[in-house]
């Protein structure tokens, strides 16, 4: 299977054709109105955001024209509007600050190169279907970054809005310098800046349908023209060139510049990706349209590349313009395309008026937009919600305020990945027992567990990052419950298993079988079953060890667990099947601790095999039930069932070495402690019991049907003859 399918590539690149083929003519009027409405907002924003990025105003208009057109044609959303944004402009200024001097030709060229590099990253990621990586980045990164960007924008615009002249090196020093020099403000500039700010706030409060920023800036420009404020020291934007976006001469092979911009390009691409997905999902809540993250990356990538080559700078989707586009009734990307056409018309007709547009008015407008970026309600929800999201929010916000902005963004993204990896690499593994109705299995530490079998739920995938944690949890459970020789793993939450997980299961199988037990799996999903089959694990485990969820406990009870332990030793009744078991009266009178702390010497099956063939063989005493003994036992073993040994007396010799044998080793340990209390000194147990003896392929005897109990039919393994 290839990562990129040719038909998928064609559909991504030929996106404009599908848009035009499916366009409905009845939507033209609504798209026309929406496009004109967006243009009213886009024109002042394009100029204002260029001021934040410390770039010429015309670059913002060029970027708006190019990116708005390309983003609409190759994006996946019918309503998202691409172009300059306040947060992206602030990030551009931060990235370029260490590369060139603001206002210089090198600074402008670096802005174009930054757009091309970030666009190529986005385009390639979209083409190879890596849009899903955005899903692993916390929403708190975007909230923290935009909030910090809003704070920085407000503080940075105080100086031009009031006509101050300060030189702070960071946000705190800049704010302190502005406060200390507040008496030195330029009165005409401050009047224009604060008046614009007040006008926008009033219009948004009492006439929200009107384009407040545009009206306020027209009023400020009129004041400059009528009162000759430009002659009194009020700085203006200056006349804009009336031309289409020219082709920029970019140093595409300047490796030194590329290296300097690499981390910044990655941060710009990441913020653009996060903005596209976040805004797309927010809009889809109102429109029901599904956003394709990969197609959106392709559209944003092409928009950035085109903006860089055509005298623009990095762009991203704008939430404000996209929301206005939806509210204005847009039905298709044609609305964004029409907004760029209207912007071209405005560039040629309104360009002379920009000579009277005061910078203080732009600063007042940006203070309002910066305040809008600080989502106090969302920050409060995150802060009082999940601790991990609060941490990501705090790190991203403080990093953006006090560190290099691109570094802070990347730290926030990496922290998101780290928390995700931490969560997925430490899945919950806990023991479960039946509830009171015996219908469901659930975690309940207060209920007793079965002494023979542990049932563990695995809530996560068996991949290389989580396998070690799961393995430690399973072995910790086995260590805490040494008598549970059988394990039943519930795999209903396991969808992925790599080779590390396969090796872990193989190791677990070997361990439990060496201890005389076995491993069983329940509710195995098809993807996991296919991996087990293709890697040979299914053959090692055995198909009969894959159990259906509803029949798993019943199968284990009737076909795997030792019924003698259930009847004579188990003090609890865990499963439904246990409830009708007979409970002998004398089990309550046994004084021997069923789980003694004193260790009992054990003998390996191979050692016992050699000892039985030696000159002084030990006496093998089988403490199982008669029916178990008849199915198979060690040749020469004496049958003395555990209840008989404990209560009815026996005539075992005290001067002969005795090896006690049972099915798995539990009953023999109990019998050994009883004999030691009776004065027997040479008592050992067979490690792993008859299960391990059979696993070693040693000689076994089976009682013949109709025999008197003296004869036996040998079953010989050729490797032991």
| Angle between the N-to-C axes of helices 86-97 and 359-373, in degrees from 0 to 180, rounded to the nearest 10 | 110
What's the pLDDT score for residue 683? 93
What's the pLDDT score for residue 283? 77
What's the pLDDT score for residue 598? 64
Residue whose tokens read 């060029």: 62
> Residues of the chain whose pLDDT is less than 70?
1-5, 7-8, 167-169, 282, 285-286, 564, 568, 582-598, 648-650, 703-721
What's the pLDDT score for residue 482? 87
* Active site (annotated) includes residue 578: no
Catalytic residue chosen out of the listed positions 450, 570, 578, 662: 662
Residue 87: DSSP 8-state: H
Q: What is the pLDDT of residues 426-439, one digit of tens each?
A: 899 999 999 888 88
Q: How far apart are CA 337 and CA 364, in angstroms?
A: 29
Q: What is the pLDDT of residues 99-121, one digit of tens each?
A: 999 989 999 999 999 999 999 99
Alpha helices for 311-352 (secondary structure H)? 319-327, 334-350
Domains of the chain: residue spans and CATH: 6-419 (no CATH), 428-577 (3.30.750.24), 602-720 (3.40.250.10)
Contact between 662 and 668 under an 8 Å Cβ cutoff? The reply is yes
Contact between 305 and 115 under an 8 Å Cβ cutoff? The reply is yes
Contact between 324 and 84 under an 8 Å Cβ cutoff? The reply is no
Q: How far apart are CA 712 and CA 162, in angstroms?
A: 107
Helix (H, G, I), strand (E, B) or coil at 455: strand
18, with CB counted inside 10 A (0-12, 13-18, 19+), is exposed
439, with CB counted inside 10 A (0-12, 13-18, 19+), is exposed
338-364 residues labelled b (16+ CB within 10 A) or e (exposed): bbbebbbebbeeebebbebbbbbbbbb
Alpha helices for 426-544 (secondary structure H)? 467-480, 499-514, 526-535, 537-541
Q: Which helix (H) or strand (E) holds 422?
A: helix 405-425
What's the pLDDT score for residue 8? 65
What's the pLDDT score for residue 718? 34
Residue whose tokens read 């385009």: 123
């Amino acid at each position: 299977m290839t990562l990129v399918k040719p038909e998928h590539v064609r559909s991504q690149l030929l996106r404009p054709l599908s848009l035009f083929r499916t366009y409905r003519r009845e939507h033209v009027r609504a798209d026309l109105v929406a496009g004109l409405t967006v243009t009213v907002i886009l024109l002042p924003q394009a100029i204002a955001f260029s001021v934040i990025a410390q770039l010429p105003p015309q670059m913002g208009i060029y970027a708006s024209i190019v990116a708005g057109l390309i983003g609409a044609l190759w994006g996946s959303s019918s309503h998202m509007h691409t172009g300059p944004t306040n947060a992206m402009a602030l990030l551009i200024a931060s990235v370029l600050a260490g590369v060139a001097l603001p206002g210089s030709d090198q600074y402008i060229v670096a802005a174009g190169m930054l757009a091309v590099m970030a666009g190529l990253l986005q385009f390639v990621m979209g083409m190879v279907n890596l849009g899903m990586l955005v899903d692993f980045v916390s929403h708190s990164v975007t909230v923290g970054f935009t909030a910090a960007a809003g704070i920085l924008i407000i503080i940075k615009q105080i100086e031009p809005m009031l006509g101050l002249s300060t030189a702070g090196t960071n946000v705190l020093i800049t704010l302190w310098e502005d406060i200390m020099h507040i008496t030195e403000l330029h009165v005409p500039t401050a009047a224009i800046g604060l008046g614009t700010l007040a006008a926008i706030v009033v219009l948004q409060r009492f006439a929200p349908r009107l384009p407040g920023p545009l009206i306020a800036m027209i009023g400020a420009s009129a004041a400059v023209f009528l009162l000759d404020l430009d002659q009194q020291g009020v700085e203006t934007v200056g006349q804009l060139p009336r031309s289409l976006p020219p082709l920029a001469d970019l140093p595409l092979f300047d490796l030194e510049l590329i290296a300097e911009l690499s981390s910044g390009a990655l941060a710009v691409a990441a913020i653009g990706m996060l903005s596209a997905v976040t805004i797309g999902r927010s809009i889809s809540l109102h429109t029901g349209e599904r956003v394709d993250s990969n197609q959106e990356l392709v559209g944003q990538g092409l928009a950035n590349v085109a903006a860089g080559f055509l005298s623009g700078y990095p762009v991203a989707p704008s939430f404000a313009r996209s929301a206005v586009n939806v509210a204005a009734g847009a039905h298709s990307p044609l609305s964004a395309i029409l907004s760029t056409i209207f912007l071209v018309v405005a560039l040629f007709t309104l360009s002379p008026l920009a000579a009277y547009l005061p910078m203080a008015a732009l600063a007042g407008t940006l203070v309002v937009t910066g305040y809008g970026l600080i989502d106090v309600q969302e920050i409060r929800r995150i802060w009082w919600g999940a601790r991990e999201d609060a941490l990501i929010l705090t790190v991203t916000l403080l990093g953006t305020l006090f560190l290099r902005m691109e570094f802070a963004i990347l730290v926030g993204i990496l922290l998101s990945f780290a928390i995700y990896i931490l969560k997925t690499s430490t899945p919950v593994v806990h023991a479960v027992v039946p509830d009171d109705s015996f219908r469901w299995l659930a975690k309940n530490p207060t209920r007793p567990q079965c002494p023979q079998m542990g049932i563990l739920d695995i809530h996560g995938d068996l991949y290389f990052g989580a396998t070690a944690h799961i393995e430690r949890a399973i072995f910790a459970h086995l260590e805490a419950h040494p008598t549970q020789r059988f394990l039943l793993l519930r795999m209903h939450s396991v969808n992925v298993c790599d080779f590390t997980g396969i090796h872990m299961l193989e190791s677990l199988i070997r361990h439990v079988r060496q201890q005389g037990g076995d491993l069983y799996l329940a509710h195995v999903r098809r993807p996991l079953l296919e991996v087990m089959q293709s890697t040979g694990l299914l053959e090692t485990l055995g198909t009969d060890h894959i159990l259906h969820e509803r029949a798993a406990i019943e199968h284990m009870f009737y076909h795997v667990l030792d019924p003698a332990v259930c009847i004579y030793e188990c003090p609890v009744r865990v499963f439904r099947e246990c409830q009708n078991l007979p409970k002998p009266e004398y089990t309550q009178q046994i004084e021997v601790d069923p789980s003694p702390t004193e260790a009992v010497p054990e003998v390996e099956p191979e050692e016992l095999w050699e000892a039985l063939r030696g000159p002084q063989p030990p006496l093998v005493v089988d403490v199982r039930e008669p029916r178990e003994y008849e199915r198979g036992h060690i040749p020469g073993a004496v049958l003395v069932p555990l209840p008989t040994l404990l209560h009815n007396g026996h005539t075992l010799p005290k001067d002969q070495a005795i090896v006690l044998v049972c099915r798995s080793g539990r009953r023999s340990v109990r019998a050994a402690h009883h004999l030691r209390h009776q004065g027997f000194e040479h008592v050992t147990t067979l490690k792993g019991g008859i299960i391990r003896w059979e696993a070693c392929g040693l000689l076994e005897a089976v009682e013949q049907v109709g025999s008197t109990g003296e004869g036996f039919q040998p079953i010989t393994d050729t490797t032991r003859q």
